[in-house]
Amino acid sequence: MSYKKVYSLLIILLLSLNGALAQRGSTGGGGWGIAPSIAYNPQTKSVAVGFRLNIKPSQNLRFVPQALYYPAFSFNKIHEYHIGLGVEYTVFKNKIVNLYPLLNVGYNAWLNTDDSDMKDAKSGTYLLELGAGISFTQSSVRPFLETRYNIKWKETSVHIGLLFVLGGNSRYKKRNRRRPVICPAYN
């Protein structure tokens, strides 16, 4: 399957989720955000830049479409990109941290397979990653840290980033919403 088909499927999924979020209303979900990130793979000693959407259809569940790009710099041995969809589920939450396991399914396009010593190096493969993450604070800017294990390639990666919460029903907004002032003479 080409990256165009994978990209098309992700867009269809996002549009479907958008409709579901619009109908969800004020029942604890409906939030969304964007997040730039940086990833490091210690096995290949490669650094990637990434971008993700964070779609929250319910209080604890999040769908995270994401893309990572490992550029062809002198320190990166691997030149590739990932496009995928993650699922995160918050298992612990307080005012400071959220802890969550995650599952990421995606497509990996390895762009410099000719430079590899591997016999069976393929330019495009599917991947499955399992991991865990932690995000900090309940504000509209949330730093996060994740670690993942790629089951196919038996590699780990570490991701750090900032989630900017842009929509939805956050407790912060509800708690700090200005109430109209009613004149005591009319009360």
Q: What is the pLDDT of residue 26?
A: 42
pLDDT at 20 over 60: no
Residue 22 lies in a domain: no
Residue 155 lies in a domain: yes
Is residue 182 situated within a structural domain? no
pTM greater than the 0.85 cutoff: no
Q: Which of 32-46, 66-80, 116-130, 165-179 has the highest mean pLDDT?
A: 32-46
The answer to whether residue 23 is domain-embedded is: no
For residues 37, 24, 89, 173, the Cα torsion angle rounded to the nearest 10 degrees is 60
CA 16 from centroid of its chain's CA atoms = 17
* pLDDT of 16 above 60: no
Confidence band, pLDDT 50/70/90 cuts, at residue 28 = low
Say which range, 31-35, 113-117, 162-166, has the weakest mean pLDDT. 113-117
Radius of gyration over alpha carbons of the chain, in Å?
20
One-letter amino acid at 151 equals I
Q: Are strands 46-56 and 61-70 parallel, antiparallel or unpaired?
A: antiparallel
CB atoms within 10 A of CB 37: 20
Q: Is pLDDT larger for residue 175 or for residue 50?
A: 50
Confidence of residue 27 (pLDDT cuts 50, 70, 90): very low
pLDDT > 80? residue 135: yes
Instruction: Give percent of the chain with pLDDT exceeding 90.
Output: 49
- Strand ranges for the chain from DSSP E: 31-41, 46-56, 61-70, 80-89, 92-93, 97-110, 124-136, 141-150, 155-167
pLDDT at 25: 44
At residue 175, does pLDDT exceed 80? no
Q: Is 35 helix (H, G, I), strand (E, B) or coil?
A: strand
Task: Say how many CA atoms lie within 13 Å of 168 toward its Cβ.
Answer: 27
The CA distance from 99 to 135, in Å, is: 7
C-alpha–C-alpha distance, residues 61 and 8, integer Å: 23
Find the CATH number of the domain harbouring 53.
2.40.160.20
80, part of any domain = yes
130 vs 46: CA distance, rounded Å: 19
Cβ neighbours of 12 (radius 10 Å):
10
Q: Give the pLDDT mean for 27-47.
A: 86
- Structure confidence at residue 153 (pLDDT): 84
| 86 found inside a domain | yes
Provide the pLDDT confidence category of residue 115 given band limits of 50, 70 and 90.
low
Is residue 7 one of the residues assigned to a domain?
yes
Domain of residue 140, residue span: 3-14+30-177
Task: Say how many domains are in the chain.
Answer: 1
Answer whether residue 185 is part of any domain. no
